[in-house]
Structure 1
Amino acid sequence: MTQQPLRGVTSLRFNQDQSCFCCAMETGVRIYNVEPLMEKGHLDHEQVGSMGLVEMLHRSNLLALVGGGSSPKFSEISVLIWDDAREGKDSKDKLVLEFTFTKPVLAVRMRHDKIVIVLKNRIYVYSFPDNPRKLFEFDTRDNPKAHPLHTLGLCDLCPSLEKQLLVFPGHKCGSLQLVDLASTKPGTSSAPFTINAHQSDVACVSLNQPGTVVASASQKGTLIRLFDTQSKEKLVELRRGTDPATLYCINFSHDSSFLCASSDKGTVHIFALKDTRLNRRSALARVGKVGPMIGQYVDSQWSLASFTVPAESACICAFGRNTSKNVNSVIAICVDGTFHKYVFTPDGNCNREAFDVYLDICDDDDF
Structure 2
Amino acid sequence: MNLARHSITATAPTHIIDARFEPNSRIFTTCTPGGFAVYKTWPLKLLRKQDISVDAGTLAFVQPMHASSLLFLVGGGHAPLYPANKVIVWDAAAEQEVAELEFKERVRGLATRRGWLVVALKRRVVAFEVGTRVTRRGEWETAENERGLMALATAPDSTMLAIPGRQLGHVQLIPLPPCPHPPPPNPPPNTVPTPKPQPVPLRPDIPLAPTKKPVAIVVAHTTRLAALALTSSGRLLATASQRGTLIRVWDTRSGAKVRELRRGTDRADIYGIAFRGDERELCTWSDKGTVHVFKLAQQNEIEGAKNRQSFFSPLAPFVRLPKLLVSEWSYAQYRLPAQPPSSNLAALSTQLADPTAERIEDERCTVAWIEIPIETPTPTPVSPMPASPARPGKVTRSTSSHPVKAPAPPPEPVPATEYQLIALTYSGGWYRLSLPPVAGAISPSETRPGTPALGRPGGSVLSSSPKDHSVLSGSGARARGTEGGRGADKGKEKEGKEPKEKQSRQCVLEEFRRFGRWDGWG
TM-score by length of structure 2 reads 0.62
8 Å Cα contact 2:32/2:58 also seen in 1: yes
CA distance in 2, matches of 1:63, 1:119: 19
Once the two structures are TM-superposed, the CA of residue 271 in structure 1 deviates from its matched residue by: 0.6
**Equivalence for 1:271:** 294
Q: Give the CA deviation at 1:46.
A: 3.8
If asked which structure has higher relative contact order (CA below 8 Å, sep 6+), I would say 1
Question: Which protein shows a greater Rg?
Answer: 2
Closer, same or farther: CA 104–258 of 1 in aligned 2, 3 Å: same
- Give, in angstroms, the shift of residue 358 of structure 1: 1.2
For residues 70-117 of structure 1, what are the alpha-carbon distances to aligned partners after superposition, in whole Å with 9 as ceiling and x for unaligned? 33221110001001233xxxx6xx111110001110111122222111
Q: What amino acid is the match of 1:305?
A: A
Among 164, 169, 175, which residue is 2:170 paired with?
175
Aligned letter for 1:85? A
- 2:233 pairs with 1:210: yes
Change (3 A) 1:202 1:187: same
> How far apart, CA to CA, are the structure 2 residues paired with 1:288 and 1:217?
24
| Amino acid across the alignment from 2:307 | N
Q: Is the 2:14–2:517 Cα contact (8 Å) retained in structure 1?
A: no
Describe the SS at the equivalent of 2:140. strand
- Post-superposition shift, 1:131? 1.8
Contact 2:16 2:516 in 1 (8 A): no
> Which amino acid in the other structure matches residue 45 of structure 1?
I
Alignment check: 8 A CA contact 1:305 1:350 kept: yes
Task: Please show how residues 59-70 of structure 1 align to structure 2 within 5 Å.
Answer: 59-70=67-78
Alpha-carbon distance between aligned partners in 2 of 1:290 and 1:326, rounded to the nearest angstrom: 42
- Are 1:8 and 1:27, in contact at CA under 8 Å, matched by a contact in 2? no
The residue aligned with 1:295 is 322
**Change beyond 3 A, Cα 1:193–1:351:** same
Corresponding residue for 1:360?
517
Does residue 189 of the first structure (1) align with residue 211 of the second (2)?
Answer: yes
1:117-170 Cα distance to aligned partner (Å, 9 max, x none): 1111111111213222211111100014xxxxxxx1101111122112110110
Pair 1:116 & 2:118 matched: yes
State the Cα deviation string for residues 213-233 of structure 1 (Å, max 9, x = none).
110100001000011111111
- Stretch deviating more after TM superposition (194-203 or 281-290): 281-290
Aligned partner letter, 1:353: E
Alpha carbons of structure 1 residues 289 and 204: separation in structure 2 relative to 1, 3 Å: same
Deviation by residue 1:250-299 (Cα, 9 ceiling, x = unmatched) = 0011111110100001100001113544111123325667975x522122
Matched, 1:136 2:138: yes
* Structure with a larger share of its residues in strand: 1
Q: For 1:218, give the aligned amino acid.
A: S
Counterpart residue number, 1:315 = 365
- For 1:156 and 1:358, the matched residues in 2 are separated by 27
Give the 3-state SS of the residue equivalent to 2:322 in structure 1.
helix
For 1:46 and 1:307, locate their aligned partners in 2 and report how far apart those are by CA, in whole Å.
Answer: 37
Task: Work out whether residues 201 and 219 of structure 1, in 8 Å CA contact, stay in contact via their aligned partners in 2.
Answer: yes
| Paired residue secondary structure (2:312) | helix
Structure 1 residues 52 and 269: CA distance shift in structure 2, 3 A = same
What letter matches 1:179 in structure 2? I
Q: Is the 8 A contact 2:65 2:112 kept in 1?
A: yes
| C-alpha distance in 2 between matches for 1:268 and 1:106 | 25
**Structure 1 pair 291/159, CA: closer, same or farther in 2 (3 Å)?**
same
Q: SS where residue 76 of structure 1 aligns? A: coil
Alignment counterpart, residue 252 of structure 1, candidates 268, 275, 278: 275
| Superposed displacement of residue 39, structure 1 | 1.2
- Give the 3-state SS of the residue equivalent to 1:182 in structure 2: coil
Task: Say if 2:158 is the partner of 1:163.
Answer: yes
Structure 1 counterpart of 2:185: none
Task: State the secondary structure of the residue aligned to 2:143.
Answer: coil
- Note closer, same or farther for the CA distance 1:182–1:327 as it changes in structure 2 (3 Å cut): closer
| 2:170 and 2:217 in contact (8 A); partners too | yes
1:39·1:363 contact (CA, 8 Å) conserved in 2?
Answer: no
| 2:37 is aligned with 1:30 | yes
Q: Is the 8 A contact 1:41 1:363 kept in 2?
A: no
Give how far 1:189 is off: 3.0
Corresponding residue number in structure 2 for 1:39: 46
Question: Tell me, what secondary structure is at the counterpart of 1:360?
Answer: coil
Gaps of 5+ in 2: 1-12, 179-207, 339-360, 375-415, 440-504
Instruction: List per-residue Cα deviations over 1:38-72 (Å, max 9, x = no partner).
Output: 11111111497411011101342100000112332
* Kept in 1: contact 2:434–2:507 (CA 8 A): yes
- Once structures 1 and 2 are overlaid, which stretch shifts more, 352-361 or 152-161? 352-361
Counterpart pick for 1:126 among 120, 125, 128 = 128
Distance of 2:365 and 2:421 partners within structure 1: 12
Q: Distance in 1 between matches of 2:114 and 2:235?
A: 19
Write the distance in 2 (CA, Å) between the matches of 1:56 and 1:125.
16
Q: How many Å apart are 1:320 and its aligned residue?
A: 2.2
- Could you tell me which of 284, 301, 311 is aligned with 2:312? 284
- Rounded to whole Å, the distance in 1 between the matches of 2:311 and 2:118 is 44
- Measure, in 1, the Cα distance between the counterparts of 2:80 and 2:168: 34
Which residue of structure 2 aligns with residue 334 of structure 1? 425
| Structure 2 SS opposite 1:321 | strand
